[in-house]
Structure 1
Amino acid sequence: MKYKLGDFVRFVDEKMEGFVTRIIDDQMIGVTGEDEFEIPVLASKVTTVHGYEPAGTKKAAAEDKPVILGEFEKKGIYAGVIADARASSVVHFYLVNNTSFQLLAALTTEKQQVFKGEFADIVAAKSATKIYSAQLADLQVWPRFIFNIVYSTKQNIEPPAPLVVEEKFKAKDFSTSKKAIPLLSEPGWLIRLDEPELVIDAQKLKESFFKSPEEKVVLEKPASEVDLHIEKLRDDHQFLQNSEMLNIQLAHFNKALDAAIVHQLPDVVFIHGAGNGILRHELHKILSKHPKVQTFMDARKEKFGYGATKVILK
């Protein structure tokens, strides 16, 4: 298969073009156009459009200049994940080398005891390069990633032992907000591969044995309207299954309800949306049994429709 995820292609027999967003098998690919619909097509029926390079195609590197010994960075190797700027259903993985070492790096994937070498190359100091691409919707079935990294430098510095890291990425790995990827101009998620050494402070450890276990739990005063839409609660909602999203929304609801009770609010509105009604049903089931709830009702329909519930507290 000569095509890769994120490649920009044009149909041979039709006036259409788009991005490769799925590798179906050795002969079929999925192409997504501007309408965001994925079309299965024979690989022989499309051709590459030259001149477009998806995010991460080029290596990003600092200028080749000597590293001052005092500035030599020994830590800072990451896997960076960035959504393709034009085909958002595709994400690209980069090996980000923010150290002063040159790296001999290899990526192998494993799925059901089938191993495949995906990448092997030299990654210069202070550089980042694309190593893998995947379908975002297939997160739950992504393979296991095996990174093998050997450090090298021409300076009089002892390199660390070779780094071997195995990762099975899950939705929780993308639960944090996007941040700027070092050495690249794109926002994305960072997964640290060379974890910093754990330094144990013996004195603080000793003091911790004598600390009182009693700690006050501080609940911030909630707003009068609490939005439970999943996109308001998590930046990584596109990675989550429906059951995971519901659990997150219910946890946020319970925390906000407890805070409203602690701060003695007379009432609070929970915006849950209309949707399929599952979240609304679960909220009403909890509220109907809660000892601190006087009553509840649909909030102002002219503002929320049937997408919000007003709770009157005792």
Structure 2
Amino acid sequence: MKFKLGDFVRFVDEKREGYVTKIIDSQTLGVTDEDGFEIPVAIGNLTSVYGHGVSAKEVDAPKPIEVNVPSISKIENGIYVAVATDQKAGNVVHFHLQNQSPNVLLISLTAEKKEKYSGLFHGIVESYQSSLIYSASLADLDIWPEFTFQILVFSKADVKPVDPLVIRKKFRAKDFSTEQKELPQSKNKGWLIRLDDLVPITIDAQKLKESFFKSPAEKRTVEAPSKEIDLHIEKLRDDHHFLEADEILQIQLNHFQNALDAAVVHHFDKMVFIHGSGNGTLRDKIHKLISKNPHIKTYMDARKEKFGYGATEVVFK
């Protein structure tokens, strides 16, 4: 008999029941009983308990018709892993690939552990839908494998195709250090981890420097930026009163990226970006870009006595 994490089982040779919370090996499972003790048990000594926790009325009642209607979610469009806790077996978590986008995704998931590979999931995840891709015990986090997500994005719209995504992810304790929240398209709580923000960005400093030249003949040099960059829109554009919020954000991010690139070319040791506090959108976007940049050693709030939380200092390698 094949069992999976979260199954409710009964011991054959004694009066004891519990949930499968660990797959120890091909012949042994970890079963957590009602007292919270996890017991290693041979698979041959277990039997499934069907319909556990379901009343007769619930079994006989007709199932409601499910209609797939794209839900309106507060989360930003993207590709996520929703890690949901099991309501029955507390330390078991279930991974759902959450497609929070208007595109269709073709997914392949592979696990790698000590240079041994195993395929875990393959399939199609429709727009604004999710699919269960993996289950594990949170107590075994340290021995979880590294996951490789290969994602092909399909759209019927008139848009340029994007390159296939290859995302490698090793889950760490910090991924589960925040408070659990309600997950989209789920009744469970857990953690939402964005995948398409994890695609690495590789910057070639020499090519970056060359990109500042209009042509080799002009032999222009890259102008060194100020070591303190003010990103308030009124400092960047005189016509800011006529701009939409998303236009303002893009202008600020472009100015930030250009200044950051120039600082890399000129081998700055550090610089400060003044983004203001506001609603935190610009600050969050900047911090995401900084965290992916291979030329940056660390970053922190800059001079709180002067800027409060309205500026970030970047330290280069």
Q: Same fold (TM over 0.5)?
A: yes
Q: TM-score range by the shorter chain?
A: 0.5 to 0.7
User: 1:216 aligned to 282, 293, 305, which one?
Assistant: 305
Aligned to 1:32: 32
Once the two structures are TM-superposed, the CA of residue 215 in structure 1 deviates from its matched residue by 3.9
Q: Distance in 1 between matches of 2:272 and 2:19?
A: 60
Tell me what 1:111 maps to. Answer: 113
2:130 is matched with which residue?
Answer: 128
Q: What residue in structure 1 maps to residue 88 of structure 2?
A: 86
* Distance of 1:183 and 1:139 partners within structure 2: 25
Structure 2 unpaired stretches of 5+:
54-65, 202-249, 261-270, 275-301, 309-317
- For residue 305 of structure 2, give the secondary structure of its aligned residue in structure 1: coil
C-alpha deviations, 1:204-228, integer Å up to 9, x for none? 5678968796441899xxxxxxxxx
Q: Structure 1 counterpart of 2:135, which letter?
A: S
Q: Which residue of 1 aligns with 2:218?
A: none
| Partners of 2:5 and 2:23 within 8 A in 1 | yes
Instruction: Confirm or deny: 8 A CA contact 1:75 1:194 kept in the other structure.
Output: no
Equivalent pair of 1:108/1:115 in contact (CA under 8 Å): yes
Structure 2 distance, partners of 1:190, 1:205, is 27
1:9 aligns with 2:9: yes
**1:272 counterpart residue number:** none
- Deviation sequence 1:253-285 (CA, Å, 0-9, x none): xxxxxxxxxxxxxxxxxxxxxxxxxxxxxxxxx
2:164 aligned residue? 162
**Does structure 2 conserve the Cα–Cα contact (< 8 Å) formed by 1:77 and 1:96?**
yes
Superimposed CA distance per residue, residues 14-41 of structure 1 (whole angstroms, 9 cap, x where no aligned partner): 3322111111111111111111111211
CA distance in 1, matches of 2:258, 2:304: 19
How far apart, CA to CA, are the structure 2 residues paired with 1:78 and 1:125?
A: 12
> In structure 1, how many angstroms separate the alpha carbons of the residues matched to 2:38 and 2:136?
15
1:144 matched to which residue of 2? 146
User: Whole-Å Cα distance in 1 between the matches of residues 141 and 122 of structure 2?
Assistant: 23
Q: Is the 8 A contact 1:101 1:152 kept in 2?
A: yes
Q: In the alignment, what sits opposite 2:253?
A: 201
Shift of 1:147: 0.8
**Distance verdict in 2 for CA 1:92–1:210, change over 3 Å:** closer
Take 2:151 and 2:111, find their aligned partners in 1: how far apart are those partners? 15
Give the corresponding residue for 2:186: 184
Give the TM-score of the pair, scaled to structure 1.
0.57
CA contact (8 A) 2:167 2:198 kept: no
CA distance 1:41–1:155, change in 2 (3 Å): same
CA distance in 1, matches of 2:83, 2:120: 16
Cα RMSD, aligned residues only: 3.5
Aligned equivalent of 1:270:
none
Q: Do the aligned partners of 1:74 and 1:100 also contact (CA within 8 Å) in 2?
A: no
Change (3 A) 1:9 1:158: farther
1:167 CA drift (Å): 0.6
Distance 1:133 1:113 in 2: 21
Whole-angstrom distance in 2 between the partners of 1:63 and 1:132: 25
Cα distance in 2 for partners of 1:133, 1:186 equals 14
Q: CA deviation at 1:75?
A: 3.7
Q: State the match for 1:95 in structure 2.
A: 97
CA distance in structure 1 between the aligned counterparts of 2:70 and 2:173, rounded to whole angstroms: 40
Quick one: percent identity of the two aligned structures? 45
SS at match of 2:142: helix
**Structure 1 residues 203 and 150: CA distance shift in structure 2, 3 A:** closer
CA distance in 2, matches of 1:112, 1:136: 20
Contact kept in structure 1, 2:70 and 2:129, CA below 8 Å: no
Q: Which secondary structure does the structure 2 equivalent of 1:201 belong to?
A: helix
Q: CA deviation at 1:137?
A: 1.4
Give the TM-score normalised by the residue count of structure 2.
Answer: 0.57
Give the secondary structure class of the aligned counterpart of 2:175: helix
- Per the alignment, do residues 196 and 117 of structure 1 end up closer, same or farther by CA in structure 2, a change over 3 Å counting? closer
Aligned length: 207
